[in-house]
Chains A and B, each alone.
Chain A
Amino acid sequence: MAEPVITLRHFFERARAGQLTGVRCRKCGELAIPPKELCPACYERAWEPVPLGGEGTIASYTVIRVAPRAFMADAPYAVAAVKLTEGVSILGRIVDIPLERLAVGLPVRFRPIVRNSQTAIGFGPA
């Protein structure tokens, strides 16, 4: 049995400490975030974890005004698709950026959001 190179638990432990982590395929060089069991490019199982810089730009964003019950107190809040400098993309909650300043192409930086001992992906000002 191959040990997973990084489990979700380990990913979020590192994220909570401020470090965003991807995985790179040792066979073909494909970079992925979040981690997957098989490489989607070559189907090998040869990942190694790689630290990511946490910097990127907003590819798309929305301001959520009608929220699920658990998030009603936060509304309105923004969620963005962020393209990281390394080329991969991930969704995150926007923090500390005024909603009216949001724009496609705006530079942002990874920031963990810890809430009820659960860590989520966030992005704040670059």
Chain B
Amino acid sequence: MRRVAVIGVGVTKFGKHERTSSELFAEAAADALADAEISADRVQALYYGNVVGSETEHQLHTGPQAASILGIPAIPTTRFEAACASSHAAFRHAVMEVGAGVSDVVLVGGAERVLNVPTPDSTEYFAYASDAVWEQTLGLTFPGVFALIARAHMQKYGTTEEQMAAVAVKNHKHGALNPKAQFQKEITLEQVLKSAYVADPLKLYDCCPFTDGGAAVVLASEEVARKSRRPVWVLASAAASDWMLLGDKRDLSRVPATERAAALAYKQAGLAPTDVDVVELHDCFTIAEIVATEGLGFFEPGAGARAAEKGMTSLGGRVPVNPSGGLKAKGHPIGATGAAQIAEIVTQLRGDAGSRQVSGARTGLTHTLGGNTATVLVSLFGRG
């Protein structure tokens, strides 16, 4: 495999937009190409993530639609649907296309629009990523899925609602430093603990919001990247899956797909968890961040909650997690999330993250989870 680099990134403001998902992607993609200082006619393929377009926009075939509205209709496009991990799955395949020598410049991204429909509808559409026969028929929601995981973690390790709340407080503190974030405001532990239950033991402020937004990154071969201004190298991009049904998982307090994908990624890169300086991981719910920090090897299983409470994952802590504000505060346009996480890590490794910069960061990790913890992508990045 050839070496592959990210040479440009673009992210829209996250929040509510009166624009289609493909428009949001096109804005982010044009920004990414400008950032890469590369002409659109150099792009040889688009790998695109979009999840509930059929439901919220009555739109299938969003790959060519996204390329068309960007203005480069002739290239091959592929749409990836891997629930909330869609554009990270797209990224891994694009890395393989460039790594294999098929293309030298590939665009990767994603977008989602959901705030144009009421919450009971978006809650239902997101639940389509759980099993239609065995889980949707129970009225299971995504907060419900992670509530089951939270209760199992609390039961096994004594994790508390206060410790989960500390993750929300931390990510809002980081999000306040990110001009693209949906929520640029700090919150208190009391606000989290007093917020209404959505799916016990998870409360409103344990949950990420519904978000419209788009994100894109430009991938290039080593030869092209060497001529670019500030390439960030892809050191690894790995995927793993797990049983679709929560009932088939032996231990709900852990996410085996995270552990498997992380092991593969560390092996590809020849790195260990202690080498990672900055992390963007999938905090769709506060408990998801805690379990991910354990699965990625930063803390032992069961130690993630205490670590969050002690500030070890805050900016300035031992391993800063979600300096962007994470899904919790930056927002979670599900088709765009993986690409947006990669854009943040690239920004961090370039030293361009301003007031949320992790000083001296040289190695970064992104982690994106899809569905009932059935899909996980982990990628590693390095500068220079």
Contact = CB atoms under 8 A, between A and B. Distances in A.
B148 interface: yes
B320 to A, nearest CB: 30
B147 interface: yes
Interface string A20-40: 000000000000011000000
Nearest to A102: B200
A121 B26 CA distance: 44
B155 A104 contact: yes
Contacts of A62: 143-144, 147-148, 151, 199-202
B120 A79 contact: no
B246 to A, nearest CB: 6
Interface in A26-71: 33-34, 59-71
Contact of B199 (A66, A69, A71, A104): A66
Interface residues of B, number: 37
Contacts of A34: 133-134, 245
B115 to A, nearest CB: 16
B284 to A, nearest CB: 15
**By DSSP majority rule, is chain A's interface helix, strand, loop, or mixed?**
strand
Given A34-B245, A81-B247, A67 B141 contact: yes
Interface in B106-139: 119-121, 123-124, 127, 133-139
In this complex, the member of A74, A79, A120 whose beta carbon has the largest number of chain B beta carbons within 10 angstroms is A79
A106 interface: no
A60 B199 contact: no
Interface residues of A, number: 33
B240 interface: no
A8 interface: yes
B195 to A, nearest CB: 12
**By DSSP majority rule, is chain B's interface helix, strand, loop, or mixed?**
helix
Contacts of A33: 247
B148 A68 contact: no
Contacts of B135: 91
Nearest to A75: B139
A89 interface: yes
Contacts of A66: 119, 123, 141, 143, 198-199
B139 A60 contact: no
Contacts of B198: 65-66
Given A72-B120, A89-B248, A104-B151, A64 B137 contact: no
A81 B120 contact: no
Contact of A91 (B138, B151, B152, B250): B138
A104 B200 CA distance: 13
Contacts of A61: 148, 151
Interface of B: 119-121, 123-124, 127, 133-141, 143-144, 147-149, 151-152, 155, 196-202, 245-250, 252
Given A65-B196, A121-B134, 8 more contacts: A34-B134, A63-B199, A64-B139, A67-B120, A75-B139, A89-B250, A120-B137, A120-B138
Which are the 3 A-B pairs with shortest beta-carbon distances? Answer: A62-B147, A68-B124, A71-B139
